[in-house]
Chain A
Amino acid sequence: MESLQEWLYFFFYVVEKNEIMNKVNFKILPDELLLKNGKIIDPFIDKVYTGDIFIDKGRIGDPSKQTKKTKIIDCSGKIITHGFCDIHSHFREPGREDKETLETGSLAAMAGGFTRVCVMPNTHPPIDTPELIDFLSKKSKSYPVHVHPIGAVTKNQDGKNLTEMGLMKKQGAVAFSDDGLPIQDGKVMRMALEYIKPLDLPIINHAEDVCLRSDGLMHEGLVSTNLGLPGNPDFAESVMIHRDLELASFTGSKIHIPHVSAEKSVAQISKFKTQFKNVSSEVTPHHLYFNDEALSSFDTNFKVAPPIRTENDRLSLIEGLKSGVIDCIATDHAPHTLEEKETTFDLASCGMIGLESCFGAVYKVLVYQNKFKLLSLIKFLTINPRNVMGFDSNLFSYEKTAEIVILDERKKWKFTEDSIKSNSLNSPFIGEELIGRIEFTISKNQIYSRTKLDI
């Protein structure tokens, strides 16, 4: 009986494995692969040059060592750069696998050019023990992207009792957050920041003062007044950020501010950043792309926390990236079922998927509309988020495991439902024309290709 069971497990493992590989866009990397004649952007050495990248058994190799068996991808006219790193995603496993699993999330990440993803712990149950961290690390081993668990700050995300952060770090936790739920109690936040000092990992607090947010459903302003929707004011965020920065500068711990959405928040971070180096922050593609006018349609796909704010806030977020107050772009990829979004605005869940539309959206806003250099945009998606999490950034030196994205910089394309690899479809980007498209992503000895690949 036991051997039959084992055999069955093996059988299903093979079926499952084949299923991933059957998805036409994903393949195992050939032994030797040459990415030929691309425009290489290496954000680590701050250089842009034309050349080849050789991948030898999944690792960066010396292009002169290629042989007759070497497969070639012609990259002329394309950009070759570091695989993107998303430090804020929700993959919903365990508990809500109908929305996203570690596997489908990984496929969506690959399609979006991401080779490394940090997943938030607000699953069911929340990731609040070393055992659960271990579960996530082991479960995601065979999937094509590197998945890093973020552990909960408090047990069951109750906002009161600290988790075993030391043991969770040992099992692979890279940061701690109760994301989705703000740590409302200032004393708890102080204790968490103090406790984490020797671990040298960041705390990420979803910055919204719960009392000030109240029952707010969108940004409080003229648009919310016109729509009759209860408002969530910008100061609900900036007040919380101010508190967290005061506490972190007192304790000297690392703090990372997620999904900054308001001009007032950028001002707070800017003020503290001049005297205090342990603070970093991120902004999402949707806060850079949309403003609150978009909610006039009552489209629940625009319902996110923190809310999409005014045009003025949007512009200040772009300015924040330009000035270095905001360090990186993170997607806050938050899958939800159709049922949870196809309802009235008050009952709909918060969040949107973001991995697959990310590059096209931020390229359009930053490079195309706001004249950022492509190199600086690439940094917001590669070296900067890796630095926040303390990951290796020197990806193009020999012997490094290949984490590469190949993209078509100027390509205008429409983001459509049928291309989505995520298990969920909740995205207001569907139907939008985006600029800059991912062609290939290489990670963990696997390759994603947008079109059918013959190598």
Chain B
Amino acid sequence: MSLKNRHLFGLKDYPKKDIESILDLAFKFREVLDRPIKKVPSLNGLTVVNLFFENSTRTRISFELAQKRLSCDTVNFSASSSSLKKGESFKDTAQNIEAMKIDAVVIRHPSPGAPKTLSKFIKSIIINAGDGTHEHPTQAILDMMSLKEKFGFLKGLKIGIIGDILHSRVALSNIYGLKTMGAEITLCGPPNLIPEFLKDLGVNINYDVDEVIDWADALNVLRIQRERMGIGLVPSVREYRNFFGINQKRIEKHKKDIVIMHPGPINRGVEIDSAVADGQNAIILDQVLNGVASRMAILFLLCGGKK
């Protein structure tokens, strides 16, 4: 069982068979996580660097836990890209870290394409943990795992993705992954935050959130950056909440068991209300646990671990 691509840059054109392999193994690791001793010696002796050029406590902790559960050595490196602009170049940082003999790099970077650029400078295996507004493939894998856990299948599932699609790497990776697995997707949010070109990827766009709730089996509610409020992109919080906020009233109106996902961190009272986020149809915390299992599966398959 090995994957076609040496690195995980994104899910665009990623083989269906490989997504299935990752998901299958992720469910097996999920069982390990439910045991009292949550550790396997699979990647013993391997060194992985978490190279974070952008703050992200959650993703980093999730990767770190996955690495520890697989018994590999972990080094964390955080650098803000602004300090890079001033001094050391991206290339130097990368080559310096590799000079310390490492096997794989998990990279988070604000610039789209940074993982691919990194692969030109170093020889290690590279896993994209989010590159700007491009992709966040491990998030999409864990989202698919959570959907599969809930529904038992992905083919034919109707998924609504709600929010700022234009600036969302989560949305893009979800679109690629879910389309490959045969799900149907409808994007919903303010029209200036949904690029029309996405229609060419075979997704629907609908600006009416109530219609999307009516149609969908599950909603993936994206975080709306508060920084984007009131600066031309979204006029105000109340305007957004009014037209796209997912609240109890909206869900009840449709009287259906719609599954609610969110990649976190949640802006309670903005894109989603507490009643929905904490409600019985939300699988937001399952996503968090599945994140560790998915990342274990990805690390294991890319780094060639032994059972």
Contact A344 B113, beta carbon cutoff 8 Å: yes
Interchain CB contact (< 8 A) of B195 among A225, A342, A345: A225
Interface of chain B residues 204 through 227 with chain A (CB within 8 A):
none
Contact A345 B12, beta carbon cutoff 8 Å: no
Contact A298 B133, beta carbon cutoff 8 Å: no
Q: Does A226 contact B (CB under 8 A)?
A: yes
Interchain CB contact (< 8 A) of A339 among B89, B110, B114: B89
Q: Does A347 contact B (CB under 8 A)?
A: yes
Instruction: For the complex, give the distance between the alpha carbons of A280 and B109 in Å.
Output: 43
Contact A347 B200, beta carbon cutoff 8 Å: no
Interface size on A, residues (CB 8 A): 20
Contact A222 B111, beta carbon cutoff 8 Å: no
Indicate the member of B114, B117, B121, B201 with the most A CB atoms within 10 Å: B117
- B216-255: contact bitstring with A at CB < 8 Å (1 yes, 0 no)? 0000000000000000000000000000000000000000
Interface of chain B residues 143 through 191 with chain A (CB within 8 A):
169, 172
**Interchain pairs with CB closer than 8 A, number:** 61
What is the minimal beta-carbon distance from A212 to any residue of chain B, in angstroms? 14
Indicate the member of B121, B133, B135 with the most A CB atoms within 10 Å: B133
Given contacts A222-B200, A343-B90, A346-B111, contact A228 B135 (CB under 8 A): yes
Instruction: For the complex, give the distance between the alpha carbons of A77 and B116 in Å.
Output: 46
- A343-372: contact bitstring with B at CB < 8 Å (1 yes, 0 no)? 111110000000000000000000000000
Instruction: For the complex, give the distance between the alpha carbons of A347 and B135 in Å.
Output: 19
Contact A221 B85, beta carbon cutoff 8 Å: no
Interface size of B as a range: 20 to 34
What is the minimal beta-carbon distance from B200 to any residue of chain A, in angstroms? 5
Instruction: For the complex, give the distance between the alpha carbons of A210 and B172 in Å.
Output: 27
- A372-406: contact bitstring with B at CB < 8 Å (1 yes, 0 no)? 00000000000000000000000000000000000
Instruction: For the complex, give the distance between the alpha carbons of A229 and B85 in Å.
Output: 19
Contact B169 A228, beta carbon cutoff 8 Å: yes
B residues in contact with A230, CB < 8 Å = 133
A residues in contact with B113, CB < 8 Å = 227-229, 298, 344-345
Contact B12 A343, beta carbon cutoff 8 Å: no
A residues in contact with B172, CB < 8 Å = 225-226, 228
Contact B197 A228, beta carbon cutoff 8 Å: no
Instruction: For the complex, give the distance between the alpha carbons of A415 and B85 in Å.
Output: 33
Q: Does B40 contact A (CB under 8 A)?
A: no
Q: Does B263 contact A (CB under 8 A)?
A: no
Q: Does A451 contact B (CB under 8 A)?
A: no
Q: Does A312 contact B (CB under 8 A)?
A: no
What is the minimal beta-carbon distance from A425 to any residue of chain B, in angstroms? 15
Instruction: For the complex, give the distance between the alpha carbons of A345 and B117 in Å.
Output: 8
Given contacts A222-B200, A343-B91, A346-B111, contact A228 B12 (CB under 8 A): no
What is the minimal beta-carbon distance from B178 to any residue of chain A, in angstroms? 15
Give the interface SS of chain A, mostly helix, strand, loop or mixed: loop
Contact A228 B90, beta carbon cutoff 8 Å: no
Q: Does A297 contact B (CB under 8 A)?
A: yes
Interface of chain A residues 175 through 216 with chain B (CB within 8 A):
none
Contact B197 A344, beta carbon cutoff 8 Å: no
Contact A342 B91, beta carbon cutoff 8 Å: yes
What is the minimal beta-carbon distance from B201 to any residue of chain A, in angstroms? 8
Given contacts A228-B169, A297-B116, contact A344 B111 (CB under 8 A): yes
Q: Does B112 contact A (CB under 8 A)?
A: yes
A residues in contact with B134, CB < 8 Å = 227-229
Q: Does B198 contact A (CB under 8 A)?
A: yes
Nearest chain-B residue to A218 (Cβ)?
B112
What is the minimal beta-carbon distance from B177 to any residue of chain A, in angstroms? 14
What is the minimal beta-carbon distance from A300 to any residue of chain B, in angstroms? 8
Contact B197 A343, beta carbon cutoff 8 Å: no
A residues in contact with B135, CB < 8 Å = 228
B residues in contact with A298, CB < 8 Å = 112-113, 116-117
Instruction: For the complex, give the distance between the alpha carbons of A222 and B195 in Å.
Output: 9
Q: Does B132 contact A (CB under 8 A)?
A: yes
Nearest chain-A residue to B111 (Cβ)?
A344
Contact B133 A347, beta carbon cutoff 8 Å: no
- A214-241: contact bitstring with B at CB < 8 Å (1 yes, 0 no)? 0000000110111111110000000000
B residues in contact with A346, CB < 8 Å = 110-112, 132
Nearest chain-B residue to A217 (Cβ)?
B112
Instruction: For the complex, give the distance between the alpha carbons of A297 and B109 in Å.
Output: 17
B residues in contact with A222, CB < 8 Å = 197, 200-201
A residues in contact with B110, CB < 8 Å = 346
Instruction: For the complex, give the distance between the alpha carbons of A345 and B110 in Å.
Output: 11
Indicate the member of A226, A229, A231, A346 with the most B CB atoms within 10 Å: A226
Instruction: For the complex, give the distance between the alpha carbons of A221 and B200 in Å.
Output: 10
Q: Does B271 contact A (CB under 8 A)?
A: no
- B89-128: contact bitstring with A at CB < 8 Å (1 yes, 0 no)? 1110000000000000000011111101100010000000
Instruction: For the complex, give the distance between the alpha carbons of A56 and B129 in Å.
Output: 68
- A322-351: contact bitstring with B at CB < 8 Å (1 yes, 0 no)? 000000000000000001001111110000
Indicate the member of A227, A300, A342, A343 with the most B CB atoms within 10 Å: A227
Q: Does B131 contact A (CB under 8 A)?
A: yes
What is the minimal beta-carbon distance from B249 to any residue of chain A, in angstroms? 33
Nearest chain-B residue to A342 (Cβ)?
B91
What is the minimal beta-carbon distance from B29 to any residue of chain A, in angstroms? 29
What is the minimal beta-carbon distance from B186 to any residue of chain A, in angstroms? 17
Contact B116 A228, beta carbon cutoff 8 Å: no
Instruction: For the complex, give the distance between the alpha carbons of A94 and B117 in Å.
Output: 32
Instruction: For the complex, give the distance between the alpha carbons of A342 and B113 in Å.
Output: 13
Contact B89 A221, beta carbon cutoff 8 Å: no
What is the minimal beta-carbon distance from B232 to any residue of chain A, in angstroms? 11
Instruction: For the complex, give the distance between the alpha carbons of A230 and B134 in Å.
Output: 10
Instruction: For the complex, give the distance between the alpha carbons of A344 and B12 in Å.
Output: 20
What is the minimal beta-carbon distance from A46 to any residue of chain B, in angstroms? 45
Interface of chain A residues 223 through 268 with chain B (CB within 8 A):
224-231
Instruction: For the complex, give the distance between the alpha carbons of A339 and B91 in Å.
Output: 9
Known A228-B169, A344-B111, A344-B117; further 12 A-B contacts with Cβ < 8 A: A222-B197, A222-B200, A227-B134, A228-B113, A228-B134, A297-B116, A298-B112, A298-B116, A300-B117, A344-B113, A344-B114, A345-B114
A-side interface residues toward B, CB under 8 Å? 221-222, 224-231, 297-298, 300, 339, 342-347
8 CB-based A-B contacts, threshold 8 Å: A222-B197, A224-B197, A228-B135, A228-B172, A229-B113, A298-B112, A346-B112, A347-B90
